[in-house]
């Protein structure tokens, strides 16, 4: 199942509020995320406001589209928008910047075990 990692920027002056809001996410929002295919979803927040999100989903575009159709998501995004900086379109979920995965330990171990590892050792 594909993994997705993305970044956003939280206003550094509102980090404590942002953390507090996420300590008690609305039950209907949690249900909507799960039913839309967002699995193993976590958010990580750095002291300068860099927010990194991680999730596993069969189809990220479909999972996003399902949330876009959710009334609870529209309400949640509207309430969360003031916590972010640099939102060009006004909604945090549409401003996510997905990252390219450049390394995965498990994938490389499987490739090595199966004889598909084409990289050479860095040892002399």
Domain regions of the chain by residue span? 3-113
22 is catalytic: yes
Least confident interval from 12-16, 23-27, 94-98, 117-121? 117-121
Q: Which of 3, 19, 22, 46 is catalytic?
A: 22
Top-confidence residue, 119 or 104: 104
Per-residue pLDDT reduced to its tens digit, 52-93 = 999 999 999 999 999 999 999 999 999 999 999 987 767 888
Reported pTM: 0.84
For residues 6-17, average pLDDT: 96
Dist. CA 104–CA 109, nearest whole Å: 9
Query: 36 near 66, Cβ under 8 Å?
Result: yes
Q: What's the topology of domain 3-113?
A: Alpha-Beta Plaits (3.30.70)
In sequence order, the 6+-apart residues with CB closer than 8 A to the CB of 82 are 11, 14
13 pLDDT more than 90: yes
Task: Check residue 117 and give its pLDDT.
Answer: 58
């Amino acid at each position: 199942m594909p993994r997705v990692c993305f970044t956003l920027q939280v206003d550094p002056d509102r980090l404590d509020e942002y953390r507090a809001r996420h300590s008690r996410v609305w039950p209907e929002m949690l249900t909507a995320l799960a039913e839309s295919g967002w699995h193993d979803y976590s958010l990580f927040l750095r002291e300068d406001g860099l927010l990194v999100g991680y999730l596993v989903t069969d189809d990220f575009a479909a999972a996003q589209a399902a949330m876009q159709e959710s009334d609870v998501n529209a309400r949640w995004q509207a309430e969360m928008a003031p916590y972010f900086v640099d939102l060009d379109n006004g909604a945090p979920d549409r401003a996510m910047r997905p990252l390219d995965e450049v390394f995965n330990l498990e994938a490389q171990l499987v490739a090595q075990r199966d004889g598909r590892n084409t990289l050479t050792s860095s040892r002399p």
